[in-house]
Amino acid sequence: MIDRTDPRFTVLDGRPGKIVAVHLSYASRADQRGRRPAAPSYFFKPSSSLAPSGAEIVRPAGTELLAFEGEIALVIGEPARWVTPDAAWSHVASVTAANDFGLYDLRANDKGSNVRSKGGDGYTPLGPQLIDALAVDPTALRLRAWVDGDLVQDDTTAGLIFPLAQIIADLSQHFTLETGDVILTGTPAGSSVVVPGQVVEVQVDAGEHSTGRLRTAVVQGSQSFDAALGSLPAVDDTQRTEAWGSPEAAGIVPPAPRLAADLRAKLERVPVAALSGQLRKRGLDDVTIDGVHALTPGSRFVGTARTLRFLPHREDLFAARGGGQNAQKRAFDAVGAGEVIVIEARGETGSGTLGDILAIRAHAQGAAAIVTDGGVRDAEAVAAVGIPVFTAGPHPAVLGRRHVPWETDVAVGCGGTTVEPGDILVGDGDGVIVIPPAIVEQVVDAALAQEEEDAWIAGQVASGHPLDGLFPMNADWRARYDGERNA
């Protein structure tokens, strides 16, 4: 028996027998994805996923990629079976707004069926008002979506790859579209990830007719998935790119170009102190990462920066962003050979910012080093891994005592200086220094020349010559040095 008082189904005046959704239908979305289908494809959503305007959607604990998709929903009136495109629209009773939410963390094992990723309770808000389908032109419907009041999607059915009538007719040749069935007709470009605390609104307009705004608030859930029952949420950069809409929106920055072998060899020959002197001559004083020391004495490294940023701990934010494949784990999974993970921990030493498992992962990836202005947990085990680690000191507490893992591959502040992805870092017993890539060649060449000069001066001092006039060299000593060097 249908409960017509159930708020999930109020706008439809009853529970639909089925909800059919189109995978990819707008040209703008297809262009964004880089693929355009030759024919429409579909998936089913359970009617239990419906929700009214004003409802909340819960992002499960341990997940990160809950994405909205503003869509136009069609509600079937007269049953349709083997109808032609010309007759198809007459079988539609009404039009309304929909939000086809999806949890990309669960897509990997659904193989396009979207059973788990899009079938959750509350994942299909509809409403708030219906538009009489016979009163509108199906080729001239406008769809818009807002996140926290900012317009993020704006397209019309003129931008569809497959007209609405074709979708109805195509579905009708496979099964009967029954009275009350709902068809979700796809989303245009602009779909992206939303996080707890945000509000999504969707509206469909047709001339003077409007559905009004379908409003959904995102909240954080405490319930997580049980590995004993099925596969757990899992994400990678491909899923992040598709969920957010682009690599840039997802915060995925291509790995910095690797240092050329000859440049790396030069940098490996130069002490940090010499590089510091050359950078100072070029007006760069604030390029040392202060307060960090090698976990293992004698450590030295050269590499390019990959960055990780932590924010101060806050319980609700850690609940939202501290679990699953969070920013910390993404950084250690993404680091490449010859790169340095640089962690912004605000000089907070009251917890670890990494432990031995993450150090092992970075070492296995071929990372050059890890630099954090925070603490290191499992310090002896981390030191035993063999990767250079420069830290403000050891601490036994876990990350969540002081930090929220926030984002990767952005400019960070570490030890009082700014580090951008791709900056060149060199570390040794004197500390860690940051070199802008644009001047690294001239800096290292000048440092090598200065080292050669200093070595010659040291030899003269060792032979008994006084410092006056020699360090720094006056004109006479300079002429003698140049003569010997060019001989």
- pLDDT score for 445: 95
pTM for this model (two decimals): 0.59
H/E stretch holding 460 = helix 440-462
- H or E element in which residue 93 lies: strand 92-99
Residue 1 has a pLDDT of: 40
Full DSSP string of 332-368: HHH--TTEEEEEE-TT--SSBS--HHHHHHHHHTT--
The pLDDT value given to residue 4: 61
Q: ∠ at Cα 177 (173, 181), nearest 5°?
A: 150
**Farthest CA pair distance, the chain:** 106
Task: List, in order of start, the domains of the chain with CATH numbers.
Answer: 7-244 (3.90.850.10), 261-441 (3.50.30.40), 449-486 (no CATH)
How many Å apart are CA 309 and CA 324, to the nearest integer? 17
pLDDT digit string (tens) for the chain, length 487 residues: 445 678 888 899 889 999 999 999 999 998 877 778 899 999 999 999 999 999 999 999 989 999 999 999 999 999 999 999 999 999 999 999 999 999 999 987 777 789 999 999 999 999 999 999 999 999 999 999 999 999 999 999 999 999 999 999 999 999 999 999 999 999 999 999 999 999 999 999 999 999 999 999 999 999 888 878 887 888 888 888 888 888 778 877 665 667 899 999 999 999 999 999 999 999 999 999 999 999 999 999 999 999 999 999 999 888 878 877 788 998 998 899 999 999 999 999 999 999 999 999 999 999 999 999 999 999 999 999 999 999 999 999 999 999 999 999 899 999 999 999 999 999 999 999 999 999 999 999 999 988 888 888 889 999 999 999 888 888 888 888 888 878 7
The pair phi, psi for residue 237, each rounded to 5°, is -65, -25
